[in-house]
Each structure stands twice: as C-alpha cells, then as structure tokens.
Structure 1
Amino acid sequence: MVSLIAAVPATEDAATHVMAEPALIWTGVVTDMVTGLSFLAILAALVTLAFRRGDVPLGWPLWCFVKFLMAYGLVHLLAAWSPWQAVPVLETALRIIATLFGVASAVTAWALLPRAAALPRAQAMVELRGQLAAVSAERDGAVAQLRQETEQRRQTEIALVHAKKLEAAGQLTGGIAHDFNNLLQAIAGNLELIARRADDPDRVVRWSASALDAVERGRAVTGQLLAFSRRQQSVSGPVRLVELIGGVRELAERAVAPLAQVAVEPIDTSWNVQVDALQLELAILNLAFNAREAMPDGGVLTLSAERARGSVPAELTSGEYIALHLTDTGRGMSAEAVSRALEPLSFQQEDAGPGGMGLSMASEVLRRMGGAMTVESREGEGTRVTLYLPVAKSEPPRAAIEEQFSDVRVDLNGITVALVDDDAQVRATIAETLAAAGARVIEAGSGPDGVALVEAEAPDILIVDFAMPGMSGAEVAGHVRERRVDLPILVATGFADAPNLERVHGARPALLRKPFDSNELLRRVNELLGRHF
C-alpha cells in the first residue's frame, strides 16, 4: 500500500487516479491492518511463552525477533492509516529499526541452526526414554542388592559378636570356676558348722551371715556373666561410676590375667553417669580382652576418669560428659589401624592389633547410650581408649542392703499360693518359707501341671520358675492369663527372656532374680497382692 502510493506522482492526476481506484485503496488498508495485527499477535504469543516458561533459556535471540515483529507490525499499521494522514518520518524510522532487528534475527537464526539441527528426533527421544527406564531398573536392582548385602553383613556382624563372646566366656571359665569353688566351700563350711553347733544361737547367726555373704558374691558374679551374655535385662539410668568400675574390676583382672594387671586410679565418688550399666560393663570387658592381646608379655591396663573438657567427639550432643580412659602399655597400633579401628568388620583383629571387633562393639554400645569413643595409639607406645559417658541429671537410688537381711514380718494368712518349679529341693524351700508366713501353698512340678493346678484351685498368686523343660514359665504365665488376666504372677529366674514375657496377656509378670532370700520373696509377694507390712 505504501509502496503503491509512493510510486504514483504527487500530482492532481495521481490523486485523481487514486480516488478513481477505491477498491485498490481499501484492499491495501485491510491487508496492512491484518498484517500489522498478525505481527503483534505473534509478538504477544512469544512474550507469553517467555513468561510462562521461564525455565526455557530463550535469551536475547527471542527478544531480537520480538522487537523485529513489533517494529514491522507498527509499520504496517501506519501504512494502513497513511491514505488519510501520512507520517513518513515515523514510518521511515520504524522501517530502519525493523530492518536492523530483522538482520539481527537472521544472523541469530543461522547461528542457532546447528544447535537446532542437533536436537533429538521424536524416535530418538523414545529410545532415550527406554534407555532411561533401563538405567532406572538397573539402579533399583542395585539398591535391592545393596540392601540384601547390608542385611547379610549385619547378620555376619552378629555372628562374629557371638563368636567373640563365646571365646571370651571360655577365657573366663577358669577364673569363674575357681571363684565358685571358693564360694561353695564357704557356704558348705558354714552350713556344716551350723549343723554341729545348732544350739549356739550367736554362732549360728554369724555363720549364717557368712554363708549369705558368699551367696551374694556368687550372685554378683552370675550377674556379670549374664550381662556379658546379654541374657539379663538392663535399663539405662543414673549409675555411680566408682561403683560400676569397682564391680567390673574383678572380671577385667581375669580378662588380662595371668601376665597383665589392672590398675584403677581414684575416681570422684560424686560422678554419676547416665548409662546402661550392664552394657557398659560388657564394653569395658571387651576392651580388657583387647588390651591383653596387645600385651602378650605382660603389662598394665589403667582405668582412670576425668571431666570431659575442651574438644569432644563431633557426634556428641551438647552437654556434660565424663571421660573414662582405658590405657594399656602394649605394642600399640599403626596410624592406619587407628583410623579404621572403629569400623565393624573392616579388617581382622590380628591385623589391627588391640582393636578389631572389641573396639567396634564398644563403640556401638557407647553410641546407643548417647556417648562416644575415641582411640589414640602409637606403635610401641600402647593404646588409650576413651569412653565419653553422659553425666546423669539425677542421683542413682541407693540399695537398701540392711533391709534385705532385716527380719521382715509378713502375714500371708488366708492367701493361697500356686508354686510351680521343676526342682523339688527349690520348690520345697520356697513352700516352707511361704507356709511359715501363713500361706496355703499348692505345688506342681511341671508347666502343664501348674496350668491345671491354677484352673482347679483358683489361687491368689502364681509363683513359677522360668527355666523348665517342656513348658517354660513364660508359657505357663501366658496360658494362665488367657483365663485369669488379673492374676498376679511372679517369675523366679536366673535370667530373663524378655520377649517371651512381653507377649503374656495383661500386665507383664514380675521378676524375682535367683538366688533370693526369704525376706525378698515375701516382700515381692506382698507387693503383688497389694498388701503392706
């Protein structure tokens, strides 16, 4: 339209010619108008795309093309208006701008052509999706295999831990047997003296106390062995560190015997730690075995403690800690062995020196208790293992030893007690104790007989031994509770199989640790019956 007008001479004849062709003029106006609006519509679509897909890197080539479309759209709109009012300067300026951006867009298009040609075709995209799916499936298979291998490794660790404990138990057997022979000798000797001088009350009391003291020492030893075998329940709580170290010292001395010794430096009696006492004793005992391996020609394992100040292991949360040090005078470890000492199953103990399974086991025990462990060592200079124990926020309960042996008067008149124990001598002793307090005692020598006895007699309380052939005490309690959910049950045991007891219906049966004295038995029965002294 504009070019058409420009080609006609600016004379009256030209004007007459233009006016004589109105159809031609309106055709040009309409086409310029539609073309200009089309340019601007394309421009609007591109701008909308750019804002909606901000993640697509369109960049400056897009904006060159946008400006080219804007300029030429305006040029065509001005051309459509020029038959009535021409604006030649503005139209020329817009043409120049449009030309510049058109050239820029053309250059950009050719520059982007290789990249555009390299884009994958639809079939290639389908193939890529297939390859991605295959890789994903392979990854899922690898993850599943990794989980399986992790579980196998965990099972292997458990098996090795048990093997390590069996080895340690074998090493302790000699010393434990010697101690128990001494305890049995003390008990037998005192009982023999009581039998000979039963008419001398003062001496009988003294000899009885001596025999009971031997029983208590035997109970302490079996408690440590049960802790070592993890067959006895234990709960994390406040513990006096000096008492714990004093209790585990004997086992540690047997662990390093016969060539090495154990030295314990003074520990502040006010230090209380929040730990699982039995598991901590197990960790210390494992470290003692490792120290002995590091001192084949003899040496000293020193236990000391101090407040943890300054830097502590990064995995610890903020709080107060006691640092318990176990330092041996053995052959030490290399820097590589120290760096890998706490890794479970990373390498065999004989390669690591005084480390291996003992250190990794102890480290895991400390981690579960909210503590941590570090190892410092140099070849030829010994090893120092530090256990970081969280400080307890409350005082440990004090054992009422005097009350345990006090003359407690318990009246069980009118109470029927069902007693189930496969050991006739133990059953007779317990029955006599209960009968002396006024109870009516009905007895059974096996689990099935005990269940039948409870059903027939409807006792007020059931006392059952845990370890019995055929049907255990936990199974007896389970059968009884199916019919009498509220019946008080007292399980007498030398060890506790907690999962079995947890499955008993109703309230969890109470436990009475063997060996126990008559006063402790009567107190527990009174407690379960809800009676008071």
Structure 2
Amino acid sequence: MEQVERFASSLTEEGRYRILVEAVTDYAIYMLDPAGIVTSWNPGARRFKGYEASEILGEHFSRFYTEEDKASGLPSRALQTAATAGKFESEGWRVRKDGSHFWAYVIIDPIRDPSGEIVGYAKVTRDLTERKEAQEALERAREALFQSQKMEALGQLTGGVAHDFNNLLAAILGSLEMLRKRIPRDPKMVALLENAVAAGRRGAALTQRMLAFSRRQRLALAPVALPALVGGISELLQRSVGPQIQIQTQFPLALPPALTDANQLELALLNLVMNARDAMPEGGVITILARQAEIHFKHGTRSSPGTYVCLAVVDTGEGMDDETLTRAAEPFFTTKGIGKGTGLGLSMVHGIAEQSGGYLVLNSRKGEGTTAEIWLPVADAAEPSPEQPEDSQMATPAPVISLTILAVDDDPLVLTNTISMLEDMGHRALSASSGAEALRIVQLEAVDLVITDQAMPKMTGLQLAKAIQSEYPDMPLILATGYAELPAEADVQLLMLNKPFWEEDLAAAVTTAIERASVPAFKTNE
C-alpha cells in the first residue's frame, strides 16, 4: 500500500491524466492543436476509428467527417463554436479508416493557457451506432404499427361502405331487372335501361375491390393449378392487352397447386396484366411465370414460414421510381389520371393474397419494367380440388311448384326487391325486418324456405339460422350477404348468396337449398 501511495505521489498531474486516458477504450479521447491537428491518440480512438497513432498524429481531425460535412464546413464551425461558446456538442455520422460510417456523439472543449489564449482542444467521441440502430428499429416498428392500425381502420371503413353500397346495388339492379321485363320495347328506353344496368355492374365490381382490399370478401379456398388457370383465361388476357403486347408464359413441369380462390385469383391476375399493359403504351412483352419456393421468415401480417407458390407478372414497361413504388399498393393511389383508375387494383390483389395466407411483392425500377409477385401457400394434398367453389355450384333453375318463402332483411330497399323477385318467380313471399319477427312468422306460418341477411342488429342472420334449426332442423336456409363478416367459429352449413344478386341467382339458390334439404316434394300453396 505504501508503495502504491509513493508511486501515486510521484506522478505529476499530467502523468495521472495520461494514465487515465490510456486506460479508456469506450471513448475516443484525443487532443487537437489550435488548427485542429491531432496531437494525441488513445486506445479508444484506435479501437473504433481504426487508425494507429502513427497514422493519425499530425493529421487534421476533419478526416473523420463525411464528405458532405467537410463540404459544408462543419469541422471548422465545430472548433469555432467550442472557442466562442466554451463547448461544441453534437451527434452525427463519422467515417472509420475502412470507409464505414458510425454514429458518433462528440464533445469538443477548448484548452486555454493562464492568459486565456486557446492552446488546443480536447475532443471526446463515443460510438453510438448500436443505440441509434436500436432506436431506428423501434421507430420503424412504431411506424409499421401505426400504418397497420391506419390500414385496419381504413379497411373497416371501406368494408362497411362496401357492405352498405352492396345493399343499395342489390335494390337498384334487382329493380332494373324487374323493369326490364315490364317496360315496352322502346329502343330509347331499353338503351337507357341497359346503360343503368351497366353502371350498376361497374359499381358492383368496385365494391368487390373494396371488399377485397378490406379483407372482408368471402373466398372459397381450394387447390388451384396455376398453369391451368392461366391457360384458361389466356385468350381473355390477350384480347384485353391488344395486339401490340405479347404475352408469354413460363411454368415448370412440376408445380404444386396453390391454396386460393380461383375466381378471385383470375381477377387479380387480370388486374396485374392490365397494369402492365398501361405501363407499356408503345407495346412490349408481359411474362406470366410461376415457381415453388420455401419461405423461412414471416412476411407481412398474415403469412408464415412454409412452402409457397409464386405467380409473377413481369413487364418491360416504364417502371416506377422509388416514391411511386412505395405508394403503389396504397388504397386509392393511382398514376392513371382522373377517371381512369380507382386506385384499388393493387390493394385488391394484396387483399386476396393475404386472405389466402400469402402476400404481394412489387419490384420495379424506372425504365426497367415491373415485377408483381403473388405468393400463395401450397395446398395440402388431402384437400379436395373442386372445379368450382361449392357455394357457386348452385343448381340450374328448374321449374318448381310455388313455395312459401320468408325473406328477412333489415334494409327495406333490399327486402322489397327480394320480395318482388320471389313473387315474380311464382312463390308466395313473406317478409320480416328482424330476426325476432322472422322467428314469430316461422312459428305461425308453414314456411318452406328462409332467406336471411347476415348483418342485422340484435340478431344476425347466422344467429337466426341457428335458432330456426334448433326448432326446425330440416328447414332450408339461405344466407344472403355481400360481406365476409361470418365469425371464424361459425359451424352452421348454410348456402351463401352473394349480394348484389339477380333473379336467376336467387332462383338457383332456392332450387339448390331445397334439393340440399332433401325435401320429398315441393308442397303446393293453395
């Protein structure tokens, strides 16, 4: 102990400072002369800046700054600030010997002689790269969460609007169909009527895109052979893009089926091909290809690691800059000009991919074309592979004896329209505006079939169906909806009828529901 005390007392203040500085490895501590030349170099500076003392002593400290900071005069301003304000403190990018950048926290203090003259500067630098990266990762996570919440809220809003819009379209299109049968065959009146019907169908297509974007569209997931699907609509695709554009396909000899909705995937593919066409006003080549791949990481919010099939559409068009590419899949964003696009196309494709358990990837560079990839999970070999989703396999309408059918809907426009269709088909139609009213009618009347809306207050269509089946287990039921709001735990097997629907759709649903119920004979209403 006495030896230590004698050693400590024998050291000058400068010696003790030097030992302290030499022991520090987490900070770069070094001295500068009044002009900014490095005059000392500690182990901490050597550790994270990469220079040996022999390489840096006598050099100007500005060599640690980026070219942008040197060009702006930041090193000289730092010394000037330290001299006038008594300290310079900042954070910024600095450059290591190997050229890599690190995020530095810097303090520069002036050193003055007894007369107050600056004789140099003491500079302390700390490497905060890990902290900055962690902070940026946290900010990215927060931004991703914010965007996810924003998109979820927008999706709920869009889905709700689409649901209400579907109800309106159901009434409009149904009424137009009734008028089509009754108005005189005046060419002008027929033309106006057909124009209204065409506008209604465009509105229905728009609601389907909105529902797909909001993930509220019902998908009939089944194994789909991508080469066969593309081959089946190849003529449609070629007619849609015109003679100036060549469509090529590339598929491996062996490709497992993807788990998705075939009809919706066709719409998604057509949408991507139309986008590719619009990006090639002078013509070009669109290549549709597919491949199988293993994904070992989670991508997006719904996909999981596993085996996927990638269906890609590659064009030789104009491509997108980084800003456009970033916003391309945003809802209602379009580069096609006013009146030429809804901005929901890619959002719809993205929604279909995610509802199928996959995701959409866009890659593009300005002037080098665009690649749009739909990644879909591989279908389980044990799953059935129907030609069409079961819901769409409705029987061809056949002549039936009049039935007593109860229509249930809280929207009076839709209810009136459904009643008119049923009566036009020759059935006796009863109406109810709520689940409770429907239950009372079923108890009082000899009802052959119930058609109910799903989204109703107090009692949903699914709840009504369960209540009816508990008392009348053989009662045929049809659930009419334009919105995939059925809960995941729904276990009641119901025939689904998508809104908006035409009379032929309703007739097919009625026939299928009766046949499924195995009713020996249709009773005749007196």
Higher share of residues assigned strand: 2
TM-score of the pair, normalised by structure 1: 0.44
Higher share of residues assigned helix: 1
